[in-house]
A and B are shown apart, each in its own frame.
Chain A
Amino acid sequence: MRIACPHCGERSLDEFLYSGDATVRRPDFASPTAMDEFIAYTFERTNPAGPHRELWYHAAGCHAWLVVTRNVATHAISSVEPARDVALAGKPETKDGA
């Protein structure tokens, strides 16, 4: 697998670390239901068998966190975006991935 880092270009898998689902977003700690929200955010995953929005870290490169859209059944990557851009763009598009 090769990931096209927006900053460094296409690089081999072994430069990257994987963190997981990018569709869950950290809840507001002040929410009255914060505990339930944090439990869902931290532990529950849709884990689909198709396209998956997920976080990767360019550990042996530029240290950018990336949102990669990848089909987990085929490993085909359809997009790579800086996580910062995705995060700044606001709330995630859908809860269940792209």
Chain B
Amino acid sequence: MPSTHYSIFSVLREALRGHTGWGPAWRDAEPKAEYDVVIVGGGGHGLATAYYLAKHYGPLSIAVVEKGWIGGGNVGRNTTIVRSNYLLPGNIPFYELSMKLWEGLEQDLNYNAMVSQRGVLNLYHSDAQRDAYARRGNAMRLHSVHADLLDQAAVRRMVPFLDFENARFPVQGGLLQRRGGTVRHDAVAWGYARGADRLGVDIIQNCEVKGFRREGGRVTGVETSRGTIGTKKIGMAVAGSSSRVAAMADLRLPIESHVLQAFVSESIKPFIDGVVTFGAGHFYISQSDKGGLVFGGDLDGYNSYAQRGNLPVVEDVLEGGMALMPRIGRVRLLRHWGGIMDMSMDGSPIIDTTPVEGLYLNAGWCYGGFKATPASGYCFAHLIARDEPHPVARAYRLDRFATGHAIDEKGMGPQPNLH
């Protein structure tokens, strides 16, 4: 009999028989002619949506169609950080729901995604930055999300390896969210896929959407590279490619696609416990459970659908890194790569219906998508099932730009590469 439940006991049992009893983590499903709901995009958000739809709103027949292999987009290309240290009321409750879902994820999915709450520390280097972080920390506290404003001494105790002596922009303190941390990114996709599969969701890989079937202003199905699939509800969760897929339904979105690079060093003995974000340059860093320093910085800054960036940003990121922690100079960069971000016009996402009836949109995640995965799936499932927004995702409307209700955390305006 195959082992389906994951636990130390099943691992020990399988160890005795050479691990021959494990089955596929998810079925490689063939598309059926029709589903109640088709989710386009087998990334973290799409798989989470399918999982929560099946779990909370069933019985429904649900398919996830994925152009390549699941988890191949940004859920597999990010720097694994989770946090809910947002500023604006449109964002905090949503990301806090996500944090709460992360906190129970492994038991829910029976899959260890290594949710690791070792803290996220945002450094400040000036009085103005301190006050801005105080405002943010207070906003979080008013939403019952804990945050601590640390002075320099406290930061020094936490992360003694920063350059406190000779910095161009001396560290004055930081805003700490202790519940923030990291999650093993690939495992999130696999865990949701396995969870959804066990609830009957068909996960269909190598199935590219070619178009939407519409009758009288509402969807009737999707055309795919593996044939047409009938459905009355389609959920689009294809961040990075949202504009391209939306164009198949004649929609233009408030989104540009931009490349964000990510970096990992050779594996070294862990010395960085949590996530540290530089406040005077584009650099943030954590260290994985395998020992690699995982870090990143700013967008390359130009529209791109190529999953790679260029050398100036590589240099810019490492300049920040060496300015912040000059002891990493002799550690080596192992790989750098790029992911395609749905950069929205205000830096915040969209979870909404569209002018096409039956077509639902989950897009515009900028580089906040990974941490949002559980709540995004949860709220998108709610929207698709109920045709009304989940209360914590109410602000993520598509028409907010027209009405003047932008959710602009950074105050950068309609210039996507500045968010």
Contact = CB atoms under 8 A, between A and B. Distances in A.
Contacts of B305: 49, 72-73
Nearest to B301: A18
A45 B312 contact: no
A46 B415 contact: no
A79 interface: no
Interface string B242-261: 01100100001111110000
Interface stretch (A26-34, A36-44, A85-93): A36-44
B302 A54 contact: yes
A74 B306 contact: yes
B402 A49 contact: no
A20 B256 contact: yes
Contacts, number: 73
A75 B254 contact: no
Nearest to B315: A14
Q: Chain B interface: which size bin? A: 20 to 34
A72 B312 contact: no
B152 interface: no
A15 B312 CA distance: 10
Contacts of A20: 256, 303, 415-417
Given A45-B243, A47-B303, A74-B306, A18 B252 contact: no
A59 to B, nearest CB: 11
Nearest to B345: A43
A72 B303 contact: yes
B304 interface: yes
A72 B402 contact: no
B21 interface: no
A12 interface: yes
A54 B306 CA distance: 16
B310 interface: yes
Contacts of B301: 17-18
A52 B258 CA distance: 13
A78 interface: no
A49 B306 CA distance: 9
B310 A13 contact: yes
8 contacts: A17-B301, A18-B417, A20-B303, A20-B417, A43-B345, A45-B243, A47-B243, A75-B304
Interface of B: 241, 243-244, 247, 252-257, 301-306, 310, 312, 345, 401-402, 414-417
Given A1-B302, A46-B247, 18 more contacts: A1-B310, A14-B312, A18-B302, A18-B303, A19-B415, A20-B303, A40-B252, A42-B414, A44-B253, A45-B253, A46-B252, A47-B243, A48-B243, A49-B257, A49-B305, A54-B302, A56-B302, A72-B302
